[in-house]
Amino acid sequence: MPLKIDTFSNIKGGNSLYKALVHPLAAEKARALISKIVAAGTVAIYDPRDTLTNLAELYDISAWDIKHIYVQRLESLGHTVLGRITQPVTELNTCKATTLFIAAFDAERLLTHIRHLIPQGVSVITLDDIRLPSEMLTHQRNYLDTLNFATNFALFRDADGLHTTVASCNYWHGYGAKMPVVLWLSLFDQQGKILAQWQETLPQAAATYRIDSKEVRARFNLPEFTGSLFIHAQHVAGHDVVKYALDTYGDADTVLSCTHDANAWPADFYAGLPAPQEQQRVILWIQNSTPVTIPRGGVGINKMGSDDVAWFTDAEIAPFATHALDVASLLPKARWPEQLEVQAGKYFVRPRYEVINSTGRRRIAHANVERTDLNIDPRLSDITKLTGKGYMLPAPILPLEHWRSIAMPTPMARGQSELPLAITLFDASGEEITTYRFGRIPRKESIAINLETLLTNVGGTFPSGYGHAILTYDFSDGGAADGWLHGLFRYEHKASGHSAETSFGAHLYNIPITYKNEPQSYVGAPPGLSTRLFLRLGSAPLDTLCHLIYPSSLTWHPHSTTTLILYDKHGTEVAQRSITIACNGSLLWRYSEMFDAELRQRAGSEGAYVMIRDATCRLFGYHGLINGTSDAKIQAFSLDHMFGF
């Protein structure tokens, strides 16, 4: 059974109550609170904010001898909660329990309202017993302020010659954080045991930070580990989301991969998980993100469009533990390009998956949250007429001589029975080369298309040597959609056999009108018509790759006015470069080619980064690291879409 908890609403955003209840420090205190109430005898519960059911889903309170459950809201009156009928708090004076538990944070004000109703001799316990220490809070007066719970998980590994880094910068400084931002970190091993807890204070500047598994292992004298790194950013401003790039590197030159932050709220379903090709393994990394044991049969996978779910019943997964699920153990006949759907039950954040081929080369990527709240949008075909290309999903097409680029549309909402789509290929100059119409792809049908083959079939070429693809809706044959358009893009280096893949969703781009909060904005209300992208840079001998795309739903400025700003690890500006990209064009560049050796030396070999700024248009970008002196001599590479703030 899935957890019946509130985690994230696409209307209200993330639920900070959930984060407050599952925080690792809160989990330790919650177990002590539960024992304290058991020892106190009979208990009455005052639940003014409908918190109790979430608490009971996450912690075992079955040993409580509950006599009454009182509520504040008349709308909650007369409901059955934990087998008891809720009563109005005005009847508290008839309470026969020895203890009153107020199931709320910041309970002092609530207690003041009802203190005169509490019978003499009844002791009071509140949820404030599990609060985090005050020094960890950004806003003291409102415990459930979202900025108090800027948290996330990372898949963190240092084992078998594989290492991981979490890298980002102190973007909260730019939003006006007045105190030094502190990262509180807790590392869990594969069984959910705490290996280390520590804090790192970030400089009061737009400086980078980098958490390297190899360094952490040496610092705390740890054995090899694979598990979860819990990250809590304290004293932040403007942004309650912890964004980062997650890189995997190895003792061998052939190990290199990247993905990004995990989405901090567990979901019921995830999609975009590819089935393996022949002689491949696909590992789904399940990071239990709760203090609840995932029961046998609590997680499952199925082929997209099938109701036949294969449930994982071999073992339980302990709180905060990490399990490597080989998808072939549940679906042995599933083969690429089939797609798999993850039945997650709200037990874990957006999962990573790892594809390992027969030579041992591996790549890591992530599945995406599959929406459960979307219906078909009957206006979408008309809206598309008003917005030109409408919703656009841009992706690179790397130089054809050395790279193979593959696109696969992915259903990403439970209500999507079909995907009416087309894909258009553009040269880097913005010239439209060809459009392929998929038609109305049934949910259960998976299509992976080699973009070089599309070009060859029409006798086309990229005058610039490379280009990009735009996935859009296509209603020419009818059909319906909901606006939640996603795709997976796979890149293969022809000579080395190394691969990378990334997935993302479509948006409206570079139009001054809005529809359902599109075009999205980094800050403030839409439309978002500017760019602020973070490009982390690799350490020598790795070079950094960046592919910037200027998509436009309607005609916008003929060219971008883009600035690449190079910073050192302290957030000090080193140099700027001005570039222009044609509307519906793109630019593929390397750090080593954009900034000369003297500037790169000034920026430093560790922690330097580039901010990509444009006040005239919204760009979409992809970044990666390259181990190799040229496209022909690549040992390994990584690629993922960029993030901004």
360 φ, ψ (degrees, to nearest 5): 95, -10
Residue 2: pLDDT band (50, 70, 90) is confident
Model confidence at 104: pLDDT above 90: yes
Instruction: Select from 523, 639, 594 the least CA-distant residue to 245.
Output: 639
What's the confidence (pLDDT) of residue 11?
64
The mean per-residue pLDDT over the stretch 283-311 comes to 97
**Tens digit of each residue's pLDDT (9 = 90 or more) over 5-53:** 988 777 667 789 999 999 999 999 999 999 999 999 999 999 999 999 9
Going by the DSSP 8-state scheme, the letter that residue 92 receives in this structure is G
Tens of pLDDT, residue by residue over 491-516, are 999 999 999 999 999 999 999 999 99
- Cα separation, 395 vs 457, whole angstroms: 20
Domain ranges of the chain: 8-134, 148-366, 380-644
161-170 tens-digit pLDDT: 999 999 999 9
Beta bridge partners of 401: none
Mean pLDDT value across the chain: 95
- Sheet order of strands, 269-274 included: 310-311, 300-303, 339-343, 269-274, 368-369
Encode 462-494: b = buried (16+ Cβ within 10 Å), e = exposed. bebebbbbbbbbbbeeebbbebbbbbbbbbbbe
Q: What is the third-level CATH fold of 380-644?
A: Hypothetical Protein Tm1070; Chain: A (2.60.290)
The widest CA-to-CA distance across the chain, in whole angstroms, is: 88
On the question of pLDDT at 246 being above 80, the answer is yes
8-134 and 380-644: identical CATH topology? no
For residues 246-260, average pLDDT:
96
- What is the pLDDT confidence band of residue 262, given thresholds at 50, 70 and 90? confident
Q: Flag whether pLDDT at 264 surpasses 90.
A: no
**Mean pLDDT value of segment 518-524:** 87
d(CA 596, CA 591) in angstroms, rounded, equals: 9
* Displacement of CA 63 from its chain's centroid (Å): 36
* Tokens, residue 477: 């044959």
Please report, for residues 175, 203, 233, the alpha-carbon distance to residue 172 in angstroms, rounded to integers and kept in the order given: 5, 11, 10
Predicted pLDDT of residue 33: 97
The first and second tokens of residue 429, run together, are 């100059």
Q: Which residues contact 582 (CB under 8 A, 6 or more apart)?
A: 428, 429, 430, 550, 558, 559
**Would you say how long the chain is, in residues?**
645
Q: H-type helices in 52-107, by residue range? A: 52-58
CATH 3.90.1140.10 fits 8-134, yes or no: no
User: What SS3 state is found at 113?
Assistant: helix
Cα–Cα distance, 588 to 593 (Å, whole number) = 11
Specify the pLDDT at position 6.
Answer: 87
- pLDDT reported for residue 1: 77
Name 230's bridge partners.
153, 186
- The answer to whether 252 touches 161, Cβ cutoff 8 Å, is yes
| Reported confidence tier of residue 254, pLDDT bands at 50, 70, 90 | very high
CB atoms within 10 A of CB 107: 21
Q: What is the pLDDT of residues 189-241, one digit of tens each?
A: 999 999 999 999 999 999 999 999 999 999 999 999 999 999 999 999 988 99
Q: Which of 424, 395, 420, 413 is nearest to 489 (CA)?
A: 395
* Residue-level pLDDT at 540: 84
Taking the C-alpha atoms of residue 154 and residue 245, their distance in angstroms, rounded to an integer, is 10
pLDDT tens track for 574-613: 999 999 999 999 999 999 999 999 999 999 989 999 999 9
pLDDT above 70: percentage of residues in the chain:
100
pTM value > 0.85: yes
Q: Are 493 and 545 in contact (CB under 8 A)?
A: no
Q: What is the 3-state secondary structure (H, E, C) of 346-394?
A: CCECCCEEEEEECCCCEEEEECEECECCCCCCCCHHHHHHHCCCCCEEE
pLDDT exceeds cutoff 90 at 149: yes
Q: Regarding beta strands 643-644 and 499-505, do their DSSP bridges make them parallel or antiparallel, or are they unpaired?
A: unpaired
